[in-house]
Amino acid sequence: MINVTKTFLPPQQEYDAILKRTWDAGWITNRGVLVKELEAKLKAYLGVTNIIATTNGTLPLQIAIKALGLTGEIITTPFSYVATTSSIVWEGCTPIFVDIHPDYLTIDETKIEAAITNKTSAILATHVFGNPCALEAIEAIAKKHQLKVIYDAAHCFGVSYKGQSIFNYGDVSTCSFHATKLFHTGEGGALFCKEKYFRSMYLHHNFGHDGPDVIRSLGINAKMSELQAAMGLAILPYMGTILEQRKKGVLLYNEILKDVKVRTLQLREETEWNNSYYPVIFNNEVQLLRVKKALESKKIYARRYFFPSLDSLSYVNGSNCSISKSISKTVLCLPLWAGISKSEIDLVCKIIKDNI
C-alpha cells in the first residue's frame, strides 16, 4: 500500500528519552519545560520573534479572529482546507470568497479590493501547499483599507520568502503540526504574530489566565501538552534530512512527469519552498477520476486536496469562484514523504502515464 503521505517518526528511544523528563517531573501539561523548550528552539530554527505552541492547527485561526476583535465580513480563499472557512464561521463572521490565481493557487490579489465593503474587517488568506500569497500586494491593500491580515500557513514549516520566514508576514500567521506535516507533534500547531498582539493571543490560548489567580480576558484551552512537545523536540534535529529527502522526491516527479500533459504548482518568485506536497492538475475531472481509480486498483492512495471548493459548503453563501471550482475538481496530490523510494514514484507515474 502507498498512501498519500507517511508520518515521519524519530527513533523511539530518542522520543522515550525526552518523554522521561516529563515522567520524572510529573508535569504533563500547562506549559511545562518541554513546551517552553520547543518554542525556544523553533524560534531559533525558524527565525521568528513570537510563537505560541498550540494543541492543534485550527485553534490558532479561531484565536486570531477572536483576539483581533474581528466582526462582519472576512475576505478569504475558497481553495484551502475546510478549517480556514469553518474558523471564520465558528467565530460568528461571514466568509467572503475571492477566486484564486490559476498557477499559484493562492488568493488572487487583484480581485480582493472589489470584495471589500464597509463590513470587511480582515483578509484571511492561505499559502497553498506552502506557496506564498502575493504578500506585498495584500499588505498594501490591508493598509489602505485598515484591515487585519491573517495567514493560514498550515503547510509552511520551513518556507521562506525574500530571505525571511513566511511566518513573519501578516498580523498573525498560523501553522499545523499535524502528523501528516513535515514537522509534527502528532497533533499540534502554532500561532505567530506581531509583538503588539502577542500578549492578547497568549492570554486567549490559556483561558485568559495571567498567573494562577488572575483572569485578564476571555480565553479557551489551546495549550500544547508535554507529550506533544516531546515529539516535536525529537523530530526537529531531523528536519534537514526530512527536507532533503522530500526535495529529492519532488525533483524525481518533475523529471518523470515533464512530458506528461498535467500541470504542476508554479512557485512564487523568491520563495524557498519546503516541498510539502506534490499536486498535479489534470485537464478535466473525468481524467482525474480515471487516474485515481487506476492508482487505487494498485492500492495507491492519492488525495483530492483541496476538494470541494469551500464556497460550495452548505453553511456558507455561494460565490462565482470559477477557477477555484475548476482546480478543486482537477487537482490530485500524489504520494510524497521523507524516504519515498524511486520505485514507488516510478509506479505512480507509470499509472498516470497509462491512464492520462
Read off the pLDDT of residues 285-326 as tens digits, 9 standing for 90 and up. Answer: 999 999 999 999 999 999 999 999 999 999 999 898 999 999
Note the pLDDT tens digit of each residue in 76-124.
999 999 999 999 999 999 999 999 999 999 999 999 999 999 999 999 9
Cell of 112: 480582493
* C-beta separation of 19 from 10 below 8 A: no
Note the pLDDT tens digit of each residue in 162-213.
999 999 999 999 999 999 999 999 999 999 999 999 999 999 999 999 888 8
Is the pTM above the cut of 0.85?
yes
Cell of 335: 504520494
Q: How far is CA 98 from CA 93, 120, 198, 318, in A?
A: 16, 13, 29, 11
pLDDT at residue 212, rounded to an integer: 85
pLDDT at residue 210, rounded to an integer: 87
pLDDT at residue 211, rounded to an integer: 83
Q: Average pLDDT of 30-55? A: 97
pLDDT at residue 318, rounded to an integer: 85
Q: Which residues on adjacent β-strands are paired with residue 173?
A: 151, 192
Ordered DSSP codes for 128-194 = BTTB---HHHHHHHHHHHT-EEEEE-TT-TT-EETTEEGGGSSSEEEEE--TTSSS--SS-EEEEE-
- Which ranges constitute the DSSP H helices of 258-341? 285-297, 322-330
**Can you say how many angstroms the Cα of residue 112 is from the centroid of all Cα atoms in its chain?**
21
Q: Which residues contact 7 (CB under 8 A, 6 or more apart)?
A: 179, 180, 184, 337
Q: Average pLDDT of 247-267? A: 97
pLDDT at residue 201, rounded to an integer: 98
Strands 52-54 and 189-193, sheet pairing: antiparallel
3-class secondary-structure state, position 35 = helix
pLDDT at residue 284, rounded to an integer: 98
Give the Cα separation of 94 and 187 in Å (integer): 28
Q: Average pLDDT of 213-238? A: 96
Give the Cα separation of 110 and 99 in Å (integer): 10
Q: Average pLDDT of 233-243? A: 98
* C-beta separation of 129 from 250 below 8 A: no
Q: How far is CA 288 from CA 65, 208, 310, 352, in A?
A: 36, 48, 19, 9
pLDDT band per the 50, 70, 90 thresholds, residue 214: confident
pLDDT at residue 103, rounded to an integer: 97
Domains along the sequence of the chain with CATH: 12-237 (3.40.640.10), 239-355 (3.90.1150.10)
